[in-house]
Structure 1
Amino acid sequence: MSLRTNLRKILPSISITEQEALDAGDVWLEGSIYQGKPDFAALRAVPEAKLSTEEQAFLDGPVKELMGMIDDSEIQNGKHLPEHVLEFLKKERFFSLIIPKEYGGLEFSPYANSTIVGTIATKSSAVAVTVMVPNSLGPGELLLHYGTKEQQAHYLPRLANGRDIPCFALTSPEAGSDAGGIPDQGIVTKGVHNGEEVLGLEITWDKRYITLAPIATVLGLAFKVLDPEGLLGGKKELGITCALIPHDHPGVQLGNRHDPMGIRFYNGTTRGEKVFIPMDFIIGGKKNIGRGWQMLVSCLGAGRGISLPALGVSTSQVALKSASEYAAVREQFGLSIGQFEGIQEKLADIAGKAYLQEAMRVLTTEGLGMGLKPSVVTAIAKYHMTETGRDVLDSAMDILAGKAIQNGPQNTLASGYVAQPIAITVEGANILTRNLMIFGQGVMRCHPYLQSMVESIHSEDKDADSKFRGILTKTVSYSVANSLRAFKYGVMPFTADAKSSLPEVREYEKAAHRLAAKLAVYADFSLLVLGGKLKQAEMLSARLGDVMSYLYAAMASIKYYEQKVAVSEREQAAPYFHYATRYALTSAEEALHKFLDNFPASGTRKFMRVITMQFSGKQMPKINDDMVRELAAAAQMDTPFKAQLTHLVKPTAGDGHDINEQAYKAKMGCLDLLVKVKKAVRRREIQPGVRFEQTLDNALVANLINEEEYAKLVDYNRKREKAIRVDEFDFDLNLLNEETAKEAAKQAVNE
């Protein structure tokens, strides 16, 4: 009995849904990371993402107008999206970002799509999700890639101009992450449609969590097709299939809503009991019966690589802008709170991760813009960018403290704080994404021989043994080369390659090579020792996935610094870049150590430790306290690079961001005067007042400042007072405006 035959008994076969997921999409930069040789040449060759003139005009026009229309506090306190907002989205074709111009769509790039969704999300999560869904996985994208000419001609113009609102129903109460286990069924049968008897499907479904379902006019539906009577002349179980059904088709139930954390985008259920549809309703027609799962996983890039990461980035940019401005303006114990190291530690982490988020957003959309569908990279982007968004938002909430927990129009964090867990649960919940998808798909997609080896093991071909031996020889050679490379880098770390023209980048590039070399060794030995059990060893595989993810993040950070940061702004950007890159590299190293510490085979664990020199301790460049102080200070300065890192946030007159920004910029404009006044108080040259404005009065009387300087400082102080206030309501929670609140306070004092 051959080795191949023995392995066939041990290794589990790959299910149809797993195989379709593996076959979908492309291998990109993550392939070189997995194989221990990060391809920085390919990284630097990726075309730089830029907005076209048309895309920039859309941001400067309709998007800007939309931002002025949105009152998120009103939306959150209501039950529906305002009708005028919904109509504006339709009229200005916000639902057609991915639809080709020939069908009336905007046909924007992935980078523009991400920028638009991210910008809207800084103002309203509910509106952003409403725009996001039609432009990600759903009827529009499925029609583009798989629809018949007739379906495209009918639906795409209607989707582009908002006449039709789409939704896509996949999740069932019994099948969430396990989409392959959906119980919804369509039975091949004959029925009457438009007065004629035709061949079709009788479908029964029960779906939940479906965004836009309550207002949808066309329902995308995923279900399993069965042909018990053999009417199609083939198998009885034909697999997952996708169809488009008009909302008013007999038997379709839509309209009921869920309440996702009080965020007022439309989300709800859809059901149907023995609803007959003709074969023409199947996306792509009868030939696409059973191809639904392949169609879905191949189109996941928009949701996982564009829309959901954009929500995470928007959260980070809001957190950075809000926390840095508040830390500069808010004072306690006679100092701005941004001068306290506890605040600095949080603020630096927000700033560094906001940089990393933007770098990953740009690189991922650049890859998608090349026409690639890198399934592992988009899973990395979805998981880490939504998780990091939640992480930095927690830190921003800590910095703004009481101001962050009071609802109202001035609160810039609350909506994102409530909404962020929603992004984390969809398109594959993050626990699933990290533990099963990133490395689980990565190992099969990125290993140069593994997929071919598994196919040869389960092959029935006569020459299968011969093919297997050839693949095995290549695999052994590949693994030996990986071990030798890792050992060389461990003994002589200076031999790692670096091609960057910037001295400050080269050490990080070398570090990425050394870490990737270790990853390749650990992946090889995991497959050798654990084999098919690696799929169940989720904590181990998740850590290897973390290494891949953080190395991808480090590469994104390097590319952004080299290509997106103007030479004149490198000094401003350096603290952000160093913090972000070191965070990514040290996180990757930490994941490697945790993997090795928990590897179940002690002999193999010791051998891997020797090969990779892990016994020598942690070697990546660390984030130290001086870096934290430097970045926290940089984050509180009003620089062009900081503006670049918060470019998604568009303050509109009178909103929370506008109030905060006005106070912040006013302070930046009179820093020297503030130092002068405070120094005079410390020297007892002037008498401090109970309120700061009284101190300014005393400074003016003492001729410490002139009338113009006095006016400038008073203007700042009044803006500061407004920025540190929170919204106030009457007893019945009716919002009070500024004047009404003052009158209420006076009345309370008089009474």
Structure 2
Amino acid sequence: MMLLSIVLYLVLVAAVLMYRPPLLVGSLLVIAGTLLLTVFESGMWWLLLPTLAVLAILNVPEWRRRLLVAPVYELLRKAMPPMSDTEREALEAGTTWWEKDLFSGRPDWERFAAIRPPRLTEREQSFMDNEVEQLCSRLNEWDVQERQDLSPEVWESLRKFGFFGLIIPESFGGRDFSPYAQSRIMSKIASRSLTAAVTAMVPNSLGPGELLVKYGTEEQKQRWLPGLADGSELPCFGLTGPEAGSDAGAIPDLGVVCKGEFEGSEVIGLRLNFHKRWITLAPVATVVGLAFQLRDPDGLLGDPDKVDYGITCALLPADHPGVEAGRRHNPGAPFMNGPVMGRDVFIPVDWIIGGPAMAGKGWRMLIECLGAGRGVSLPSLATASAAMCYLTVGAYARIRRQFNLEVGKFEGVQEVTAEIAAGAYTLEAMRELVTRGLEEGTPAVLTAMAKYHATERMRVLVNHGMDVVGGRGIQLGPRNFLGPAYHSLPVAITVEGANILTRSLMIFGQGAIRCHPYLIDEMESLALEPDEGLDVFEPIFMGHLGHIASNAVRLLWYGLGGALLSPVPGNANDFSRRWYQRINHLSVALATCADVALGVLGGELKRRELLSARLGDAHSQMLIACSILKYHVTQPASSAADAHAAYALQQALYSAQQALLAYCDNFPRRWLGLLLRIISFPLGRALLPPADNLVRQLGDLIMEPNPVREALAAHVYLSKDPEDAVGRVETTYQLLLSVDEAWQTVLHARDKGELEAEDFDAALREAVDKGLIREQDLEPLREYDARRFDCLLTDHFEQLG
């Protein structure tokens, strides 16, 4: 009886903690329940007394503050590391979206169900069907490689059709397209030429156009935006340099406020010295955006007590006296990229973007504008590369035969082609969810996740594709359909912040503070004067305590019960229901592990990059899984879509689970890590990687016509020209599909010795004579055999160099 009473007491306390009623109500419920248990078991008094003591401390304000809140407050004030201005601005910039729900441990699935997928407007669809198609028809990546530049016709098309002004308002001559439309446009261009896509991408991501639209003065907008929209002005933005790459906040480039002569008059301005490297479009730019540290030693900006203003952004003509540009780097892909330098360059103070009032606010401006590059442009390149891998590698694996079998039928090959198939499906799903989030704000954590995981997935999938096609992908030339993507991988991985930095510092570093329901408010209260800060801190801290307790109890419950009773969206179906419940389990595990890390390690967590990266991985993979579920439900139902989604979901959530397990196994307090592991996964691993039967299914599907292939093909430029690098593979594949039954009949007959002719053409005639194939099959089979062999060939040249 005593044991049963203790169990009932624990269940009562757990239920109160899990459902989090108001503190007084919950306390009364616990007291009433414990008193009732003492009626049946008098020995329960020994639990009632300490329970009353704890609840008294929590409910009596004076006791709570003196014994609990004030000591914690003082401890945190001493332990909290100082925050730099750039860190503070980065944390304050931008918004949060669905990623915050996942971090809370209690996702609001009805809110998720209400998220509508992005769609092109009529105007955007018309642009895709006309201007984008025309541009893609004029692109040839091998021609670009040989020129080391886009052709004059392509440059003219980019200007004429308004590709440089996709983000600029229509009132200034721009297109003013949505993030989703921008992503779709860049993907289609990238499927034809990554060089052209990068060229079109830069003016529409981090650069003068976006900064002017959001922060520019009316005079600056009128001066620059019409030219940027029609391409008569080409922009670049100088941010990184030899001593400041991923740590862009540490740029040493300096602007000093002073007086100088401009257009014959003495004005207040800036004396700039800068050395920028790796600046895309710099060799052809007509207008240069610059980020630099601003100092005002003489108080000319109006505040005599302020000298160091911090990072500031300005805009100046590329031919302004003292500005040096025009030479090129060689990034391995032939897009325009080079240095921008200046020594003692004087500009009027009005050339600061936004005018003098925006002096020192450049870092926040840049952080808020990085979303286009991180969330739209770079992921769109990755999505295009993945889709083209699906289409070309899948077709090639069907065409190419070894050991009398299509290479795509070998299980070793299917292990990687299945990942290509699921990866392409995943990236298309991510594109829809991320661009939808960007339509509602500037979610910095979401876009960092998109940049890192999309470009890393691109790296994996393109390398898998090279493994399948072998020498056909290695030998460069006009026939190579995979080499250009392979050579562009380092660009996607390193720009907009190197992927190592994005994963190890940014995703969880920003996510923990921006997405946590209490942390940023607690940090702000700690920065206040003690008396005021304690008053602000107390209700936040008590809410945080309830959050931790509720998550811990729910985590154990979900771990024991498989989260089978956890909430799911009202529109969940038989396919999705179980996946939502698995996300519930992983979400509360992430929330609990993150709170333990923040509480135990505090500021030391900034240096524990291996731990924070794993928490960021778990957070990201859950977001990826959500994007897959959203995409799956909005696409036409099919068994192929189910197979792709199941593989992708299994892969994402298994990766999230493994990241959390690795976090627990490597937590510095080993006993606490073990306890977290037991609470999070009391029955052991809840998820497994995709099974072999799913690998084989996707390995077969990627070689077959199926709804997923059709959906991916609709978003890229799939040439039908048999002399084109991609068109040669696609048209040969389509011809194979039309003759496949007869083709397989002849091959099997030769394998079995039913056809005696050694010459293949003679074997075809023999097959007709023996009634194995029809007369009308003869010419299509001969044509396919010739096209098949031609499809396998690589380019060769008289002389290189």
TM-score, normalised by the number of residues in structure 1: 0.95
Whether the 8 Å contact between 1:693 and 1:717 is mirrored in structure 2 is no
Given residue 509 of structure 1, which amino acid in structure 2 is its aligned partner? Y
- The Cα shift of 1:682 comes to 4.1
The list of structure 1 runs, each at least 4 consecutive aligned residues, that deviate by more than 6 angstroms after superposition, is none
SS in 2 for 1:670: helix
Give ranges in structure 2 of 5+ residues lacking alignment.
1-69
- Going from structure 1 to structure 2, the CA distance change for 1:79 and 1:642 (only over 3 Å counts) comes to closer
Aligned to 1:248: 319
SS in 1 for 2:82: coil
Task: Count residues with an aligned counterpart.
Answer: 726
Aligned to 1:739: none
Aligned to 2:740: 671
Residue 260 (str. 1) matches residue 327 (str. 2): no
Given residue 341 of structure 2, which amino acid in structure 1 is its aligned partner? R
Superposed counterparts of 1:416-435, under 5 Å: 416-435=485-504
2 CA distance for matches of 1:561 and 1:698? 49
Residue 659 (str. 1) matches residue 728 (str. 2): yes
Which piece of structure 1 moves more, 93-102 or 68-77? 68-77
Q: Summarize deviations over 1:555-593 as a string: whole Å, max 9, x none.
A: 000000001x113xx222111111111100100011011
Aligned to 1:321: 391
SS in 1 for 2:158: helix
Aligned to 1:717: 785
SS in 2 for 1:638: coil
1 CA distance for matches of 2:541 and 2:668? 25
- The Cα shift of 1:713 comes to 1.5
Residue 159 (str. 1) matches residue 228 (str. 2): yes
2 CA distance for matches of 1:220 and 1:693? 64
Aligned to 1:519: 590
Whether the 8 Å contact between 1:46 and 1:367 is mirrored in structure 2 is no
Superposed counterparts of 1:38-117, under 5 Å: 38-117=107-186
Whether the 8 Å contact between 1:175 and 1:183 is mirrored in structure 2 is yes
- The Cα shift of 1:695 comes to 2.2
2 CA distance for matches of 1:619 and 1:607? 17
Aligned to 1:618: 685
Residue 374 (str. 1) matches residue 443 (str. 2): yes
- The Cα shift of 1:640 comes to 3.2
2 CA distance for matches of 1:61 and 1:362? 22
- The Cα shift of 1:733 comes to 4.2
Q: Summarize deviations over 1:425-451 as a string: whole Å, max 9, x none.
A: 011110000000000000000111111
Aligned to 1:696: 764
Q: Summarize deviations over 1:270-296 as a string: whole Å, max 9, x none.
A: 111111110111111010000100111
Aligned to 1:504: 575
Whether the 8 Å contact between 2:132 and 2:185 is mirrored in structure 1 is yes
- The Cα shift of 1:619 comes to 1.0
Aligned to 1:183: 252
SS in 1 for 2:181: helix
1 CA distance for matches of 2:608 and 2:161? 49
Pair member with larger Rg: 2
Backbone CA RMSD of aligned residues: 1.5
Aligned to 1:538: 609
Whether the 8 Å contact between 1:316 and 1:357 is mirrored in structure 2 is yes
Which residue of the other structure, out of 230, 234, 241, is the alignment partner of 2:299? 230
Whether the 8 Å contact between 2:237 and 2:290 is mirrored in structure 1 is yes
Superposed counterparts of 1:438-477, under 5 Å: 438-460=507-529, 462-477=531-546
Whether the 8 Å contact between 2:195 and 2:335 is mirrored in structure 1 is yes
Whether the 8 Å contact between 1:185 and 1:204 is mirrored in structure 2 is yes
Given residue 480 of structure 1, which amino acid in structure 2 is its aligned partner? A
Whether the 8 Å contact between 2:667 and 2:673 is mirrored in structure 1 is yes
1 CA distance for matches of 2:706 and 2:670? 53
Aligned to 2:40: none
Whether the 8 Å contact between 1:38 and 1:513 is mirrored in structure 2 is yes
Q: Summarize deviations over 1:634-687 as a string: whole Å, max 9, x none.
A: 111112321212333313322111110111111111222123223333443322
2 CA distance for matches of 1:136 and 1:233? 33
Whether the 8 Å contact between 1:438 and 1:545 is mirrored in structure 2 is yes
- The Cα shift of 1:703 comes to 3.6
Whether the 8 Å contact between 2:109 and 2:567 is mirrored in structure 1 is no
Aligned to 1:630: 697
- Going from structure 1 to structure 2, the CA distance change for 1:689 and 1:24 (only over 3 Å counts) comes to same
- The Cα shift of 1:609 comes to 2.3
Residue 127 (str. 1) matches residue 196 (str. 2): yes
- The Cα shift of 1:249 comes to 1.2
Given residue 235 of structure 2, which amino acid in structure 1 is its aligned partner? P
Aligned to 2:95: 26
1 CA distance for matches of 2:299 and 2:718? 61
2 CA distance for matches of 1:232 and 1:103? 31
Aligned to 2:505: 436
Aligned to 2:362: 292
SS in 2 for 1:257: coil
Superposed counterparts of 1:509-658, under 5 Å: 509-563=580-634, 565-567=635-637, 570-612=638-680, 614-652=681-719, 653=721, 654-658=723-727
2 CA distance for matches of 1:726 and 1:284? 54
SS in 1 for 2:779: helix
- The Cα shift of 1:33 comes to 0.8
Q: Summarize deviations over 1:16-50 as a string: whole Å, max 9, x none.
A: 11111111111111111111123332222122211
Aligned to 1:352: 422
The sequence identity of aligned pairs, in percent, is 43
Given residue 313 of structure 1, which amino acid in structure 2 is its aligned partner? T
Which residue of the other structure, out of 203, 209, 216, is the alignment partner of 2:278? 209
Which piece of structure 1 moves more, 220-229 or 599-608? 599-608
Aligned to 1:748: none
- The Cα shift of 1:202 comes to 0.7
- The Cα shift of 1:213 comes to 0.6
Aligned to 1:312: 382
Whether the 8 Å contact between 1:439 and 1:541 is mirrored in structure 2 is yes
SS in 2 for 1:504: coil
Residue 478 (str. 1) matches residue 544 (str. 2): no
2 CA distance for matches of 1:631 and 1:79? 38
Given residue 501 of structure 1, which amino acid in structure 2 is its aligned partner? A
Given residue 519 of structure 1, which amino acid in structure 2 is its aligned partner? L
SS in 1 for 2:531: coil
Whether the 8 Å contact between 1:13 and 1:458 is mirrored in structure 2 is no
SS in 2 for 1:201: strand
SS in 2 for 1:686: coil
- The Cα shift of 1:706 comes to 2.5
Which residue of the other structure, out of 168, 176, 197, is the alignment partner of 2:237? 168
Residue 332 (str. 1) matches residue 399 (str. 2): no
Whether the 8 Å contact between 1:436 and 1:535 is mirrored in structure 2 is yes
Given residue 596 of structure 1, which amino acid in structure 2 is its aligned partner? C
SS in 2 for 1:224: strand
1 CA distance for matches of 2:691 and 2:220? 58
Whether the 8 Å contact between 1:305 and 1:378 is mirrored in structure 2 is yes
Give ranges in structure 1 of 5+ residues lacking alignment.
735-751
- Going from structure 1 to structure 2, the CA distance change for 1:657 and 1:466 (only over 3 Å counts) comes to same
Whether the 8 Å contact between 2:665 and 2:674 is mirrored in structure 1 is no
2 CA distance for matches of 1:714 and 1:3? 82
Q: Summarize deviations over 1:380-438 as a string: whole Å, max 9, x none.
A: 00000000000001100000011111101111111110101111101111000000000
- The Cα shift of 1:239 comes to 1.1
Q: Summarize deviations over 1:363-382 as a string: whole Å, max 9, x none.
A: 1111112x311110100000
2 CA distance for matches of 1:336 and 1:488? 49
Whether the 8 Å contact between 1:2 and 1:465 is mirrored in structure 2 is no
SS in 1 for 2:705: coil
